[in-house]
Amino acid sequence: MIEARQLTKRYGETTAVDGLEFTVRPGAVTGFLGPNGAGKSTTMRMILGLDAPTSGSVTVNGKHYRDHSSPLQEVGALLEAKSVHPGRSAFNHLLTQAQTHGIPRRRVDEVIELTGLQSVAKKRAGQFSLGMGQRLGIASALLGDPATVMLDEPVNGLDPEGVLWIRNLLTRLASEGRTVFVSSHLMSEMALVADRLIVVGRGRLLADTTVDELVQQAGGDAVRVATANPAKLRDALAGPGVQIVGQAGSEELEITGLPARSIGTRAAEHGIALYELTTVKVSLEQAFMDLTRDDVVYHGTTDLEERAA
Ligand SMILES: Nc1ncnc2c1ncn2[C@@H]1O[C@H](COP(=O)(O)OP(=O)(O)OP(=O)(O)O)[C@@H](O)[C@H]1O
């Protein structure tokens, strides 16, 4: 369990983390989302005691990271900046870590197998691809068999097989009762793997929620309907909480607040023919962009005119 209470970090004029309050519970995968510069890495560094809060606190299983007698067995972490000696093999890197933390040698073999690094374990880490480096980072995070696993952008650099592997690994770690806290910019991945989401923007908490709730807040799923008689269908469906939009002269309507099944039934009751009845899912990506729109620090431009202006 990770608990942040009024967690705040200032760097000079910049408030990187601003009064964050959240709890990451065991037995679930919790996604940590936010636009660039939202304060995710800073928060993760404070969880690991690599940065001290300006005020407030963050604990892992009730204690500050530094107060745990064997922290590697408590929290396993993969942060963006890796410190692997390029001349050392993956095996030796893990073995050195294990030896300095009283972890048995067989656990090194276990994590090498778990992360699929068997064939390259003796290769120098300096020759590793980005994806292999990520796997090595994850191997070292799992070395202490920790109850809490925290990964910053673990999918970075992984090929599709690797992405699938991470997805299964995270789900398995959570099902073993561990606390799993993962940051990512890949919304489609988070939608598949995360049970809960903590969303931050400009250092502040924007949402502590589930994927479904967040999508629901963004308006929920809509249903696209095509009919020869949109006016009659509008009348048949009108009611509290139902929103219907469509352009004059168009056969198409977009309806929120009613499932496709009810729309089909009501259309049939009123003798209205439907040519299309499709549920349009709101993506987590869209819901995330709606939620964080006012908190994006770094805006890109894709519009040539905008760039020229
Ligand atoms: N050591 C530091 N010194 C000064 N400012 C910092 C430092 N570390 C982070 N910041 C600032 O704090 C803010 C939050 O940065 P942080 O890296 O935590 O965000 P992030 O959510 O992890 O971003 P990204 O998604 O781009 O990785 C940014 O404005 C950043 O410039």
| 90-103 pLDDT, tens digit each | 899 999 999 998 89
For the stretch 67-79, pLDDT in tens is: 988 888 899 999 8
Please tell me the distance between residue 19's alpha carbon and the centre of ligand 1 in angstroms. Answer: 16
Q: Taking all residues of the chain, what is their mean pLDDT, rounded to a whole number?
A: 89
Per-residue pLDDT for 302 more than 60? no
- Secondary structure in 3-state letters for 145-159: CCCEEEEECCCCCCC
CB 80 within 8 A of CB 152: yes
- Domain range summary for the chain, segments of one domain joined by +: 2-216, 221-281
Please tell me the distance between residue 40's alpha carbon and the centre of ligand 1 in angstroms. Answer: 8
Please tell me the distance between residue 143's alpha carbon and the centre of ligand 1 in angstroms. Answer: 28
CA-nearest residue for atom 11, ligand 1, is: 16
- Of residues 215 and 20, the one with the higher pLDDT is 20
d(CA 260, CA 251): 17
d(CA 268, CA 246): 20
CA-nearest residue for atom 18, ligand 1, is: 39
Please tell me the distance between residue 39's alpha carbon and the centre of ligand 1 in angstroms. Answer: 6
Bridge partners of 148, per DSSP, are 75, 179
Per-residue pLDDT for 219 more than 80? no
Task: Provide the pLDDT for residue 9.
Answer: 97
Share of the chain above pLDDT 90, in %: 63
C-alpha 182, offset from chain centre: 6
Please tell me the distance between residue 10's alpha carbon and the centre of ligand 1 in angstroms. Answer: 10
Q: Which residue has the tokens 């995968």?
A: 29
Supply angle C-alpha 295, 3, 8, rounded to 5.
45
CA-nearest residue for atom 7, ligand 1, is: 11
CA-nearest residue for atom 29, ligand 1, is: 37
For the stretch 117-132, pLDDT in tens is: 998 888 888 888 888 8
ipTM rounded to 2 decimals: 0.96
Confidence of residue 309 (pLDDT cuts 50, 70, 90): very low
Number of helices and strands in the chain (H, E): 12, 13
Per-residue pLDDT for 304 more than 80? no
- Fold (CATH) for 221-281: Alpha-Beta Plaits (3.30.70)
Please tell me the distance between residue 37's alpha carbon and the centre of ligand 1 in angstroms. Answer: 5
Task: Identify the CATH class of 2-216.
Answer: alpha beta
Copy the structure tokens of residue 168: 């299964």
Highest mean pLDDT among 97-101, 188-192, 223-227: 223-227
CB 134 within 8 A of CB 157: yes
Pocket of ligand 1 (CB under 6 A): 11, 14, 16, 34, 36-42
Is the pTM higher than 0.90? The answer reads: no
For the stretch 240-265, pLDDT in tens is: 989 999 998 899 999 988 999 999 99
Per-residue pLDDT for 308 more than 50? no
Point out the ligand 1 atom lying closest to the alpha carbon of residue 51: 1
